């Protein structure tokens, strides 16, 4: 069920939405996430994945989260393997087409130990948008007739899981056509990585914005991680570039290379050698491989800089060189 | 990219007159054949919603040959890019997708272009397809206890629900099945007018391009039928690789094999053979 409107308004009213300095550490920001929360993750596939925040949440041993994202890549594996979540809501989930189907995802979902709740990509977008608009649903014209709908509606086309949020069809009151209504998502917390923002949380995004603007508006708390914290003066010189407004933001954490080993537009591309290494580590025994990976990259490093050191300077420089090359073209 | 000298070359380069001897190794891979045959279906001026892999390669190949003004859309929110040769994106959501684009928008916005009717062709691959063009990329086996959990729809369901579709995939019996295990992306559902009845009045399957031939769909029954066979492919061979009764007209034409130019462009695009191995 979508969150009741009165509850949504109450939660918003209860937040300190003033223009104030929200800069804090990853560890402090992790305290804003409670066990059992619905966590929405910004970016898409291997782009602007807020890995530093995910790293902090795994280290803080969060449990029972429902996690949603437009498309999930290796962070989805991390959510399952770390025990942070057994319920992911997304439209597509695997490391990436060049690496094939995620073996970690397969291990957890095929054994029934974890859920992968599948909606169409546009449905994910409109669910966040409905949340951002403060309405309980939006109508749309895809998913109809498919088993993707069957699984999330309890219809005849597939084995519906009653725990899934339901989509419903309706006859349009104006035209009589069949439309699909998808329920709003109002995440408890959104984690979004940006190229730069000010201490208040006014964020500028370069390149692809994915669903992040709607996610920030829909969520009841927003944690921004950012490559750089810039002055509020800089933001005010180009207010047309502000994509996420301070009023939605509850925490700002400065984390250079905060998407590693994924991409941050204009700054670094995915760390391909590391992504290949991850795929190899999880190829034969996916669960043991993922556990090893978590140990080496999530638990042993004590700081984000330690994590980056483990990935390696050569990888960092290579990703940065490829990433910044779009400015040379 | 539009100044590429390759653009005006197709008229000068003719397809070979004779087929290679039957025992000679093919001069191209199955994936290259798929990309070439799919690219030829795209027309100048069209707007194409493309997935990565073969659809992306085919769309760029079309841009570099017969359709320099082809507008490619990526579900990451990209309108009209010219992707750089040798720098193919790993998905439709990385910065490599955005090179020389006309416009970047949110994911939701670019998908809504489908719903609004601004997309001429949707173009993607598929793991499993059935007689009525329904595609499965979610589950192999019973969805309640799947043998394989696949990555899912992504934008596939939205594209297939709202645009005329070209699907490029390998032609294998295990992929061409009587009924898909799960309808991820709708084709013509149960055939006839069942698609429209389900609330999908627009779009639908247009062509299925495989390494054996090119298929279309009957105007009334909406069942798949062969339109053309690739060089050296017999009616028996295509039937034997299909898990349902696939009609092959006796006078089915044979496609022109890939030209050297088409193959050289593809190999320049994907030198690491990410998508064409």
pLDDT (tens digit, 9 = 90+) per residue, B144-195? 899 999 999 999 999 999 999 999 999 999 999 999 999 999 999 999 999 9
Residue B4 has pLDDT above 50, yes or no: no
Per CB-CB distance under 8 Å, the chain A contacts of B53 are: 97
User: For residues A308 and A319, what is the distance between their CA atoms, to the nearest angstrom?
Assistant: 12
Minimum CA–CA partner of B136 in chain A: A147
User: For residues A196 and A23, what is the distance between their CA atoms, to the nearest angstrom?
Assistant: 13
Residues in chain A, how many?
Answer: 329
Residue A227 has pLDDT above 70, yes or no: yes
Q: Which residues of B62-100 are buried (b: 16+ CB within 10 A; e: fewer)?
A: bbbbbbbebbbbbbbbbbebbbbbeebbbbbbbbbbbbe
pLDDT tens sequence across B240-265: 999 999 999 999 999 999 999 999 99
ipTM: 0.96
Average pLDDT score, chain A: 95
Residue A72 has pLDDT above 80, yes or no: yes
Model pLDDT, residue B117:
98
DSSP A9-70: HHHHHHS--SS---B--HHHHHTTPPTT-EEEE-SBTTBS--HHHHHHHHHTT--SEEEE-S
Peptide linkage before A261 cis (omega within 30 of 0): yes
Q: In CATH, which superfamily holds the domain spanning A5-15+26-136+186-327? A: Glutaconate Coenzyme A-transferase (3.40.1080.10)
Model pLDDT, residue B28:
93
User: For residues A171 and A149, what is the distance between their CA atoms, to the nearest angstrom?
Assistant: 16
List of long-range contacts for B189-194, beta carbons under 8 Å, 24+ apart: B189/A145, B189/B132, B189/B134, B190/B132, B191/B131, B191/B132, B191/B221, B191/B222, B191/B223, B192/B220, B192/B221, B192/B222, B194/A145
State phi, psi for A12 to the nearest 5 degrees. Answer: -65, -40
Per CB-CB distance under 8 Å, the chain B contacts of A73 are: 91
Radius of gyration of chain B measured on its C-alpha atoms: 18
With cut-offs at 50, 70 and 90, classify the pLDDT of residue A159: very low
With cut-offs at 50, 70 and 90, classify the pLDDT of residue A98: confident
Q: Measuring CA to CA, how many Å separate B62 from each of A122, B7, B38, B78, B274?
A: 27, 10, 9, 18, 19
**Tokens 């005329």, residue?**
B164
Q: Report CB contact under 8 Å: B152, A91.
A: yes
Q: Is the dihedral of CA B162, B168, B172, B175 positive or negative?
A: negative
User: For residues B226 and A319, what is the distance between their CA atoms, to the nearest angstrom?
Assistant: 46
Model pLDDT, residue A165:
61
Residues B40-67 have a mean pLDDT of 95
Q: Is residue B75 annotated as a catalytic residue, yes or no?
A: yes
> Which residues 22-81 on chain B approach chain A with CB closer than 8 angstroms?
52-53, 75-78
**Tokens 């708390």, residue?**
A221
Model pLDDT, residue A89:
96
Nearest to B224 by CA among B243, B246, B202: B246
Radius of gyration of chain A measured on its C-alpha atoms: 20
User: For residues A139 and B115, what is the distance between their CA atoms, to the nearest angstrom?
Assistant: 11
Q: Report CB contact under 8 Å: A98, B99.
A: no
Residue A157 has pLDDT above 60, yes or no: no
Q: Where are the domains of chain A?
A: 5-15+26-136+186-327, 137-183
Per CB-CB distance under 8 Å, the chain A contacts of B76 are: 44-45, 47, 208, 210
Q: Measuring CA to CA, how many Å separate B60 from each of B2, B55, B67, B119, B267?
A: 11, 9, 9, 17, 12
With cut-offs at 50, 70 and 90, classify the pLDDT of residue B22: low
Model pLDDT, residue B24:
55
Model pLDDT, residue B274:
79
Q: Which two tokens stand for residue A190?
A: 């959104």
Nearest to A276 by CA among A266, A261, A264: A261
Structural domains of chain B ordered from first start: 5-11+25-269 (3.40.1080.10)
Model pLDDT, residue A154:
58
First-to-last alpha carbon distance for chain A, in angstroms, is 48
Q: Name A295's Cβ contacts closer than 8 Å, sequence gap at least 6.
A: none
**Between B185 and B27, where is the model more confident?**
B185
Model pLDDT, residue B53:
87
User: For residues A162 and B92, what is the distance between their CA atoms, to the nearest angstrom?
Assistant: 32
Model pLDDT, residue B241:
98
**How would you class A169 by CB atoms within 10 Å of its CB: exposed for 0-12, middle for 13-18, buried for 19 or more?**
middle
Q: Report CB contact under 8 Å: A148, B184.
A: yes
Q: Report CB contact under 8 Å: A178, B198.
A: yes
| Active-site pick, B32, B75, B94, B109 | B75
Q: Report CB contact under 8 Å: B143, A266.
A: no
Per CB-CB distance under 8 Å, the chain A contacts of B152 are: 90-93, 116, 118, 148
Model pLDDT, residue A130:
98
**How does strand A178-183 pair with strand A168-171?**
antiparallel
Q: Which residues of A59-87 are buried (b: 16+ CB within 10 A; e: fewer)?
A: bbebeebbbbbbbbbbbbbbbbbbebbbb
Q: Measuring CA to CA, how many Å separate A226 from each of A24, A193, A245, A253, B173?
A: 12, 5, 14, 6, 49
Helix (H) or strand (E) holding B27: none
First-to-last alpha carbon distance for chain B, in angstroms, is 24
Q: Name B239's Cβ contacts closer than 8 Å, sequence gap at least 6.
A: B245, B246, B248
Helix boundaries (H) for chain A: 5-14, 26-30, 51-59, 74-82, 103-110, 121-133, 147-153, 212-218, 232-237, 272-281, 286-294, 304-311, 313-324
Residue A18 · residue A155 · CB < 8 Å: no
**Tokens 């993607």, residue?**
B124
Distance from CA of A35 to the nearest CA of B (A): 27
Residue B116 has pLDDT above 70, yes or no: yes
Nearest to B108 by CA among A103, A211, A222: A211
> Which residues 70-129 on chain B approach chain A with CB closer than 8 angstroms?
75-78, 84, 90-99, 104-108, 111-112, 114-115
Which site among B89, B95, B139 would you substitute to test the A interface, given the most A Cβ atoms closer than 10 Å to its Cβ?
A: B95
Indicate the angle between helix axes A51-59 and A74-82, nearest 10 degrees: 10
Average pLDDT score, chain B: 90
Distance from CA of B250 to the nearest CA of A (A): 34
Residue B206 · residue B165 · CB < 8 Å: yes
Q: Name B160's Cβ contacts closer than 8 Å, sequence gap at least 6.
A: B122, B124, B135, B185, B186, B187, B203, B205
pLDDT tens sequence across B232-244: 999 999 999 999 9
Q: Report CB contact under 8 Å: A145, B199.
A: yes
User: For residues B103 and B81, what is the distance between their CA atoms, to the nearest angstrom?
Assistant: 8
Task: Tell me the three state secondary structure of residue B31.
Answer: helix
């Amino acid at each position: 069920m979508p969150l009741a409107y009165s509850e949504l308004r109450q939660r918003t009213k209860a937040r300190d939405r003033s223009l104030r300095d929200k800069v804090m550490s990853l560890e402090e920001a992790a305290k804003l996430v409670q066990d059992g929360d619905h966590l929405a993750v910004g970016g898409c596939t291997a782009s602007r994945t807020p890995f530093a925040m995910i790293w902090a949440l795994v280290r803080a041993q969060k449990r029972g989260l429902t996690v949603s994202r437009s498309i999930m890549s290796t962070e989805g594996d991390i959510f399952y393997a770390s025990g942070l979540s057994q319920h992911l809501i997304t439209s597509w989930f695997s490391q990436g087409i060049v690496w094939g189907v995620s073996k970690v995802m397969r291990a957890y979902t095929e054994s029934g130990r974890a859920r992968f709740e599948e909606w169409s990509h546009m449905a994910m977008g409109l669910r966040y948008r409905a949340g951002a608009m403060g309405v309980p649903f939006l109508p749309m014209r895809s998913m109809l007739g498919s088993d993707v709908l069957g699984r999330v509606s309890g219809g005849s086309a597939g084995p519906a899981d009653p725990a899934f949020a339901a989509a419903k069809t309706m006859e349009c009151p104006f035209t009589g056509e069949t439309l699909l209504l998808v329920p709003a998502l109002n995440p408890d917390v959104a984690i979004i990585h940006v190229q730069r923002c000010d201490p208040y949380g006014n964020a500028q995004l370069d390149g692809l914005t994915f669903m992040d603007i709607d996610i920030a508006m829909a969520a009841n708390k927003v944690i921004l991680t950012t490559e750089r914290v810039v002055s509020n003066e800089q933001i005010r010189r180009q207010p047309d570039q502000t994509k996420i407004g301070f009023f939605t933001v509850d925490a700002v954490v400065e984390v250079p290379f905060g998407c590693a080993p994924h991409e941050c537009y204009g700054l670094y591309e995915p760390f391909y050698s590391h992504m290949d290494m991850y795929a190899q580590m999880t190829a034969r025994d996916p669960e043991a491989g993922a556990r090893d990976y978590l140990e080496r990259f999530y638990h042993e490093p004590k700081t984000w800089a330690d994590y980056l050191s483990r990935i390696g300077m050569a990888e960092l420089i290579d990703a940065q060189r490829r990433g910044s090359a779009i400015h040379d073209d | 990219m539009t100044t590429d000298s390759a653009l005006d070359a197709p008229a000068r380069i003719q397809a070979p007159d004779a087929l290679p001897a039957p025992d000679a190794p093919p001069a191209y891979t199955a994936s290259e054949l798929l990309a070439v045959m799919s690219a030829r279906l795209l027309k100048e001026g069209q707007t194409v919603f493309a997935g990565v892999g073969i659809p992306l390669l085919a769309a760029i190949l079309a841009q570099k040959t017969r359709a320099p003004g082809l507008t490619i859309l990526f579900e990451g929110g990209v309108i009209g890019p010219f992707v750089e040769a040798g720098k193919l994106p790993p998905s439709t959501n990385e910065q490599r997708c955005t090179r020389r684009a006309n416009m970047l928008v949110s994911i939701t916005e670019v998908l809504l272009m489908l719903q609004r009717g601004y997309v001429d062709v949707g173009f993607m691959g598929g793991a499993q397809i059935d007689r009525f063009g329904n595609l499965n990329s979610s589950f192999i086996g019973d969805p309640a206890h799947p043998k394989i959990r696949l990555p899912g729809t992504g934008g596939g369901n939205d594209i297939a629900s709202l645009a005329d579709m070209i699907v490029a995939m390998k032609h294998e019996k295990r992929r061409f099945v009587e009924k898909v295990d799960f309808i991820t992306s709708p084709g013509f559902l149960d055939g006839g007018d069942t698609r429209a009845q389900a609330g999908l009045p627009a779009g639908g399957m247009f062509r299925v391009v495989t390494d054996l031939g090119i298929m279309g769909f009957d105007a009334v029954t909406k069942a798949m039928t062969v339109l053309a066979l690739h060089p050296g492919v017999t009616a028996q061979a295509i039937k034997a690789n299909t898990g349902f009764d696939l009609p092959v007209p006796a006078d089915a034409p044979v496609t022109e094999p890939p030209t050297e130019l088409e193959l050289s462009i593809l190999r320049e695009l994907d030198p690491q053979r990410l998508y064409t191995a």
